[in-house]
Chains A and B, each alone.
Chain A
């Protein structure tokens, strides 16, 4: 699906973005591919950092079908290169569906498709799932929920037993007995927990050591996020009263980065994530009874405030950027101004277009006391399509200015840049 990009377009894009001649960018790409290939051949694997890694995989012999004649055909064992994208690339590509999360399949739908042996293995976990679901969604009495699932179990087994296994009934019964005792144990555990109102939420049916190791980390993470949130708010209110908004913005940026990094560490896989969510939700419901964990309820409010800080951030940036007077000395590059204001040198054509005429040489800009810095619709790292349109216009403008100044090479380069920005829309 989607468009295909030719190698030439990549080479041109690289030369435009990195400000290097086309020949150099071609040489660069070729040598990078050469090195990667040599490494695959010599070591069996290679990586392009931040992009992905290649490994040689052995494929076993298998029988296929000749698509033309329909005859069976033996595909001999062979080697193949497999590509694994870096997390960063994976995330960048998957932005559209990033909000979706893995969900546990409801016990009823999975039971119908399972064989009997599977049912034995999966019964405890299904039970726990239903328990959790019932607890979280309906906030039923735990005893009720337990009884429900407990009554279901023997019923299912007796149903499955009759048609399939008549010879080996004794081990089957044993299994049921074990399961029943298991269920008894879980009931005891569960009621004990709810009575003593301990913070650790034990999930019945799961191995005990697992649940013990999960609950402290959940608590720790909740506490840490809460602390960071309080610190962030404190910093924000303390510094925002001072005239220098730049340091405040920088500080909040740092702090806002921290929780996200912390959360990334926590979210090691979907399952632990799901566990954590369930854990925190149940904790919140418990905290209505226990004043000790009342802080957790505050946490959600704090997170809301942190979010609002995040939303305010771009506005602070714009206040910083617009209407600032730059006394441009001769010798100050316009790139430098772009870097100081937008945080990226590539956006300087916007400043040039807003402040200078086509008669100016972009390389020798005249002192202009009040430089008007145009606002971006998006942010520097995430430009919107309108921003790209404006950038393309600005780049054309710069190209024209370079042509007027007699710098044909740069004019061509910026014309290409303009085309490139148009494709990015």
Chain B
């Protein structure tokens, strides 16, 4: 057992200079070795860059954990078609809040990663699909791209390499489903964001039916550090199957919510130790390891290693490492009802199980929360969730089913209590961020 304080586990890489007063500028990025990995990449053959990233073991940070280098390798070469890189910056999964602060504070790490990725997959036009509801980030991306063009990192014959790249920043318009990669591509083509049937996969027929890589912001932004410091350095962190560093986002009833960057495999107990624990006088009740679409955990799971295998073995998914922590004041029925309302609102309507199923889940949950439910509704919830899960084109429906299954597994008595007492036993005022402040004042 280590006796070192938990914060020694942290390893800021992407966040290493976010406290610089002008962290988002090209000047600051260069001062921290920015754009040096690009020169290394240009000195390599494109296929070698792909192999290097594949060897590093970098896995997608958007939720699914697919090996990034393998995605690049799937792009057919010498096919005579244009290739595209599309960065998924549509971060909208409830609880997920890593890419937006990353892009706000350090947009050039993404741009450098994109140039390297495009060189590797032989793409000459790349896109950043940013969710539209984050204008401060859009502003800094516009500025970072302008700076990168002015400095010769984008455009024609980049840094004398002979490689050309155009980069377009594209703002979405409010639709969670566009974080799903094929819906994102339809949206980027100017259509309603609805998922496509696969195959063909985007690597074969993606944007404009051409070979396309869709990667998450954090995945691509991690590439320059891997090239700059080496794959062995990267693999020295995390585990064999889940190597490297990542951003953990701690939120909810914790003493110090925020971004904690460290090696994969940290546990929530360690993160809470360094984050000052739960808010004073309260205990952890339930939490999500990677956003609302990942089955919830309880205080039994504090020592689960937060990597792809560890979380999977414990019955959930690492997802986006969005650790939403709720304390004992929180009504789990209320939390799940609200998430389910979200999925019903965001279901694109293409597949019947998801469109109709999420609607009926909401009706049942609202009744239960309001004390108008029946005990038989609990099996019905499970049954409907089962009829959504795995039965639609994309994972939105699976995500909607996850909070239902997992909350019924761990908190079935709480649902029953709502039904038996004909109402919610919780006071929402006690869950608010200011609840204890007022209580203390009132008692003073």
- Do A and B come from the same complex? no
Chain B residues near A (Cβ < 8 Å): none
Chain A residues near B (Cβ < 8 Å): none
